[in-house]
Amino acid sequence: MRINWDYIKLAFLSVAVVALYGFADQRNQKRMVDNVSVKFVGDNNLYLTEDAVNKLLIQNYGPLKNTPKEQLVLNTIEEVILSNDMVKNAQVYLTVNGELVSKIVQRKPIGRIEGVSKFYLDDKGERMPLSKHHSARVPIITGKITGKSLEDAYVILDYINKDDFLRKNVIGIHIEDEGKYQLKFRMENFVVNLGGVDNLNKKFSNFMAFYAKAAKDNSLEEYTAVSLEFNNQVVCTKI
């Protein structure tokens, strides 16, 4: 009987590959975590610090360095990090060098509420606690804080953040009542009576046309109030 050496070689090679893979996998599982690192993605303003993340992990898992890699459940570590109110998203993974990396995206505040309770509104319109590590430079919201007025304030803030001029210049929103909102600008003495959140695009287009003309005429300092409450009009009050 003729022996087919090609089949024998192929079978031997397959067994060798499986054995090597199993050996490598077993060796990899026995490896320890060599280092633990935290990386923040995006905004450089740290409302949550690396030390705070490490402390959170230690409280739940103890020191992770020198922990056998097979003992780690990465999904549960991500869930622990996401439990922090400052975290928007988290990704945890192990590198081939045995480093446990936590990549974190922080929540982004767009307004700060100054009322009986003090907190931020984030870019999703959700409440976000103040941070002891960093204070965000965002418009201050004052006045009659209610659930509905906060919803409206978020609509205004969201619009402001999409416009470069408004984002740089609006420093405050005062809630006189539900449906009556007043804006404060950084460099101007006048306030802007916005009214409600209806037709914001038209209201701000009218305001920008007024502002450009008044700036050209050097007359901005002559006004104490600018009202956008009336349809397609800008009504100004002079000193």
Give the C-alpha separation, 28 to 14, whole Å. Answer: 21
pTM of the model: 0.80
Token pair of 213 as six digits: 């003309």
Sheet order of strands, 140-143 included: 127-128, 118-122, 109-114, 140-143, 170-177, 180-185, 191-195, 223-227, 235-238
Length of the chain: 239
* DSSP-derived 3-state class of residue 236: strand
Cα distances from 5 to residues 8, 98, 177, in angstroms, run 5, 42, 90
Rg (CA), the chain: 29
The answer to whether domain 32-106 and domain 109-238 are alike in fold is no
Buried-exposed string 28-58: b where 16+ CB fall within 10 A, e elsewhere = eeeeebeebebebeeeeeebbbeebbbebbe
In the chain, domain spans: 32-106, 109-238
Show the CA angle centred on residue 181, arms to residues 177 and 187, nearest 5°: 140
What topology is assigned to 32-106 in CATH? Ubiquitin-like (UB roll) (3.10.20)
Give the C-alpha separation, 181 to 195, whole Å. Answer: 5
> Is the domain defined by 109-238 classed in CATH 2.40.320.10?
no
Residue-by-residue pLDDT tens, the chain, 239 positions: 455 555 555 555 555 444 445 444 554 545 788 888 999 998 778 899 999 999 999 999 888 888 888 888 899 999 999 999 999 999 999 998 889 999 999 999 999 999 899 999 999 999 999 999 999 999 999 999 999 999 999 999 999 999 999 999 999 999 998 889 999 999 888 999 999 999 999 999 999 999 999 999 999 999 999 999 987 889 988 87
99-106 and 109-114 beta bridge pairing: unpaired
Taking Cα atoms as reference points, which of 52, 23, 50 lies closest to residue 38? 50
